[in-house]
Each structure stands twice: as structure tokens, then as C-alpha cells.
Structure 1
């Protein structure tokens, strides 16, 4: 299977959190094909807040050698023909399909979408197709027989690559972002504004979805309570530029030392900052997955729009706060009728207790 001249195309859509969840699969592909020329086919982010996939994986040439991107959901025949020609020109012989299955109203339509993608890559000249959904568990969320809960997304993707061998999802090396010296230095430069911050909390209160937003008043209450218990600890806020104003108000609620890095750091430099943090607090979001990838314990505030476990961060060092309601699994982006009763039933005291428990578990002197 392994060839020094192998020309591989990896098809993966998504932004920060989606990308982190598939890191182990990317590592496995490179370990299986160490000398391969790898093209990454991904989407142009729909949401302006979303980071493009290549800005998360970096440009070192390890995870991929080049990027092709296209507007997701396009039905423009001219654009699709152009993309087909670009792939054929690269003489791709193997396509590895890491796209999450796009669930439609019926199972038939869901399978039809995957079949359409398969036929597209065959038309592009690929002789070997790996990772395409095949069994029922690939097309719909199912109970994991090993755990008795819903299958974790990282595991579902890894399972589809079994032809390459097992992917050890519990090994740190398979979650390594391969941060560069320059990125680590850039993180240090940002933190130098605090003059040796010592232990610190990192937080991100942003989210792309209204249904996942715990809301600002809860964050401010939480941070006021935590600052009373951790008066000497700095708070570092991370996120996109549109989250800067909310982060400023959160820092005001904190009242102590702090730093607002929203919009100032790339996803990878943010990862380097998070690597130094003692705990991360945030929504079910990209920064949460980024923090977990670099080994920082997360206290994560989840809505119930997805079922439990499916999108949890990696590792057994996190504290997930998820209230399962009768409407769990709704997948709503905007929740009006139920007034976000799942996530808004989580109290600031509950999150505060979780943060202090994580710090105590890691033997920090508080």
C-alpha cells in the first residue's frame, strides 16, 4: 500500500473544532504514507468567524503539501468541472474521505450524498478510495457497543480508516498540532505583557451558534465568583475579533490581572497559549477542542443540541457540564421555543465548582 510516489487527496470540511477532532486520522495518514504528496481538499468557511482548516494544521508540509478549496454546497457546474480538472491534473491515485456524513431528512438521501462524492472522485481519476461510509453506523449516530453511549466523533472517523490500521485515540502523539518554535515564541511574547503570569486561567465565551451560548450574564457572574477564590490568578481571554468586546466585559467582571487576546492570535498561536494554561473554560467550541488537544484540562459548558459524548473534547482530564433534557439532540442552531432550557439550566456556581475541582485534582495551590 505504501509508495514513495503516492499522490493522496484528503477530503475534509469544517473549521477549528471539526479539524481538531480529526487530528489522529491526519497523523495516521502521514505515518502510513510518510513520503506521499498530500493534497488537502476543504471548504472555504461559510461563517466569517470560522478559521480555515489549513490555518489550524499549519503549513509545515507534514499534514499536507497543498490546499484546494471550494465553496461548500456549490451547485455551479462550471466550478465543479474546474475542481475536477484540478484534481485530475494532480494525478491523484488515492482519495481519503474524512468528511463527516451530512445527515439528510432520510437515510436514502444521506447515502445518496456519499455516493455522489464517491462518483465525483472516481471521475477525477482516483483508483483507490478510503474512508467512505459503508455501514449503517457511518451514516447515522449510533450507540458505541464498547462504551454504551453515543459514538465519539473522533472514533467514528478513525473507524472508517481501519484499512490503515488502528488509530490510538488515547495517545497524546496523535493529537499533536506540531506547533513550531516561532508559534511557541509568539505565544510567549503575548503572555509577556503580564510579566511572568504564573498559573492562569484561559477562557473563551464565543460560539458560532445561538443555541450553544451560555450568555454573557452567566459568564460575568462566574468570573466574579472565581476571582474571589483566585485573586492572584490572571485571566486570558481568547477568540475571534468579534468577541473582543464581550471579552473586555468579562475581564472587567474578573477585576484582576488579565489579557484580551481575541483577534490577536492565530488558531495555532492560541493553541500555544492554551498549552501554558492551567485550565480552560468555554462553550462546546473550537477553542475547547484546541485546549484539549494540547493537554489543558477543560471545563466545558454544553448545550444539549447534540447527544452526550458525540462532540466531547478528547482526554479524561476534562469536566463536561451537560444537562440532558427531553429535547436533547435537536441539532437546532437557534433555540426559541424551548428558550435554551438545556444550557441555561447550568448555573455559575456549578461551573465554578467544576473549575475548582479540576484545579484541586491537579494539585494547584489555591
Structure 2
């Protein structure tokens, strides 16, 4: 088909999912450099991707209540798009999509549509199972006649952010970043287990750095990890911005984290990821480019908590049960750490 004059992308959150949209933006820009792209994105998430070149951003502040919806309607007033790529099925997003005037409204297939999603779209992406979330996001260009065959991020990182990251630790000693907290509490590992891995990495000559957001929840986790460490890591919890975290991830060799936004940020800049997976399937939501270093107990969790192998579960099933992350032992993670370190020559 000929290049559309304008497209509106709707994916407001969360950090990991927004990171998955960036390769789709790159695919659209490569195919149709003259097409005007507008992305409705969350207030926090815009701090990560809002400087992508060639994209107009409209911020949705979900914390602002009705005013947040009104601000989006006002920003889009008088605009007509050739198509809406509606990549979020939550009820809030489905309501928000009504602010977008577009003849073609492309959303999820029947199996993945929920919360009235089907009422605000008139086309669907191909119905597939067994694919990574990033590939599902990339398939939103297929009804437009394109195919995402390459995955490229190139999220801008400013010189100031890089300078800040370099100032936090000097030299080129191998560095393990630990981001211990997911927004889903049942995906989190025990603080003392993070501490055991941090101590192991320290004995092996690695620098260790603890990172996380400024919330009380994340500060509490960081304090518990620090208290359990024999040799405390450099604690930068709550001290960085998203761009500064991205800059640190470009410098670090390895990130240890549960299924979370920083996992996908790290993957986007080429940092290896030691992901902790028992509550979620790494083949669906793990680090997209390389999952070799993940500690994967998802199948064991499926058998223990749901009574069947992971291969028998509907794709995307989450096993967010109390104690599920305890299936991942310290030895499991140290094994993956050593495998990644050996592959990198450390």
C-alpha cells in the first residue's frame, strides 16, 4: 500500500512494553520516512522515549484522573489519522482511544482483546500464540502491509546522562547492576538471595551496583538487600533518572533483575540480562535478544502450582503465587552469572 500520511500509536505503559514499541517505530520510519507519527504515551514512560526523533508525543497522565483524558483530547483536537495502532487493551486505554480520530483502528486479535477492546477497533493483528511480546507489538504494522524483519532500538542517551553514569564508577572493572524490584510483588526474589549473589560477584572481582526507583517500596527492598550483604554494593537506588539508568546499562556487563522494565531497557542497549523467571515465561516476556543467562523455573512453577507442564498452559499464563520465586535458588543464579561471565571472558 502507499505510505499513510499519519499514524497514531497508543501505548501508554509500562516501561518494558513501551520499550517494545520502539522497534515498531523504527520499522515504520524505515518504510515510510515521510509518515507523521504521533505516540500517546504515559508521563513516566515519556521520560525514556520522548526524545525519539521524528515522533510527536502526546502525554497521558493517568494520575490526573479526568484531567488526564481531557489533556489528550485537547492535544489531538482537529487531527485526523489514517490509522490508529491501539497496542494496549486495558479499559483506561480503550476509553482513551476514543480521543483518536482514525478511519482504521487496528487492535489485538480476539484472543488477546479484553476490557471492551473490541468495541473501539475495526481491524485486528494476526492471531498468533507462542510469540514474544515484542513480536506481538511489531505485528501491528502487518495490517498496513509491512513486516517487522529487523529489531532496532537506538533510544537516545544524552552526553549529560553518560557523563553522570561515568561519574558513578570509574574504570572498566566488570560491573553487575542489580535492579531487585518488579512492580508485581510476587515476581520479586528474596533480599537475602540478591545479597548472596552480590557477595559472590564481589569475591569474583566484580563491581556491584544496586539500582531502583524512588518509591518507598523500592527503598525498602534496597535497604533489605544492603543489610544482608557482607560487602554492600554501590547504592544508587532512587538517585537516577530513566535516561541515567539507560546510560548505566550501556556501561554494565550484566543486569540481575526479575521480570521488569529495566530488563527490557538493558536488552535494548545490549547489556546482558540475568532474568529471574518463575512467575512469568521468559520466552514471552524475558529479554528479547538473548535469554541464555536467565534463571528459568517457569516450567517447574507450572507443574508445582498449576499441576501441568508449561507447554500445556495458555500462552501468557502468569504464575504469580506466593513463594513461586523461591523455586529459583542462589546456586541457580550463580550458575547463570558464571556462565555469562565466562562467555564475556571475566
> Match of 1:204?
179
Matched, 1:157 2:137: yes
Q: State the alpha-carbon separation in 2 of the partners of residues 73 and 150 from structure 1.
A: 36
Q: State the alpha-carbon separation in 1 of the partners of residues 235 and 253 from structure 2.
A: 17
Matched, 1:179 2:157: yes
Classify the secondary structure of the residue corresponding to 1:217: helix
Q: State the alpha-carbon separation in 2 of the partners of residues 276 and 308 from structure 1.
A: 24
Cα RMSD, aligned residues only: 3.2
Classify the secondary structure of the residue corresponding to 1:22: helix
Q: Give deviations 1:156-213, integer Å, cap 9, x for gaps.
A: 11112112522135x4xx122122323222221223xxx3252111111111112111
Matched, 1:357 2:339: yes
Q: State the alpha-carbon separation in 2 of the partners of residues 117 and 235 from structure 1.
A: 42
Q: Is residue 176–residue 294 contact of structure 1 (8 Å, CA) maintained in 2?
A: yes
Q: Is residue 193–residue 330 contact of structure 2 (8 Å, CA) maintained in 1?
A: yes
> Match of 1:57?
49
Q: State the alpha-carbon separation in 1 of the partners of residues 264 and 131 from structure 2.
A: 17
Which of 309, 313, 325 is matched with 1:343 structurally?
Answer: 325
Q: How does 1:293-312 map to 2 (within 5 A)?
A: 293-304=268-279, 306-312=280-286
> Match of 1:93?
81
Q: Give deviations 1:94-121, integer Å, cap 9, x for gaps.
A: 343242334x9xxxxxxxx96x777x25
Which of 117, 125, 147 is matched with 1:166 structurally?
Answer: 147
Classify the secondary structure of the residue corresponding to 2:77: helix
Unaligned runs of 5+ residues in structure 1 are 45-51, 105-112
> Normalising by structure 2, what TM-score?
0.79
Q: How does 1:1-366 map to 2 (within 5 A)?
A: 1-2=2-3, 6-43=5-42, 52-59=44-51, 62=53, 64-71=55-62, 83-89=72-78, 91-102=79-90, 120=98, 124-129=100-105, 131-133=106-108, 135-136=109-110, 138-139=112-113, 150-162=130-142, 163-169=144-150, 171=151, 174-191=152-169, 195-228=170-203, 230=204, 232-242=205-215, 243-244=218-219, 246-251=221-226, 253-256=228-231, 258-304=233-279, 306-316=280-290, 318-323=292-297, 324=299, 325-326=301-302, 327=305, 331=318, 335=321, 339-340=322-323, 342-364=324-346
Q: State the alpha-carbon separation in 1 of the partners of residues 22 and 221 from structure 2.
A: 30
Distance change (3 Å), C-alpha of 1:318 and 1:274: farther
Q: Is residue 174–residue 252 contact of structure 2 (8 Å, CA) maintained in 1?
A: yes
Distance change (3 Å), C-alpha of 1:81 and 1:202: closer
Aligned length: 317
TM-superposed deviation, 1:152: 0.8
TM-superposed deviation, 1:28: 1.7
Q: State the alpha-carbon separation in 2 of the partners of residues 79 and 351 from structure 1.
A: 42
Q: State the alpha-carbon separation in 2 of the partners of residues 184 and 352 from structure 1.
A: 29
> Normalising by structure 1, what TM-score?
0.75
TM-superposed deviation, 1:258: 3.6
Classify the secondary structure of the residue corresponding to 2:267: helix
Q: Give deviations 1:112-142, integer Å, cap 9, x for gaps.
A: x96x777x25xx432344x422x445548xx
Q: State the alpha-carbon separation in 2 of the partners of residues 183 and 268 from structure 1.
A: 6
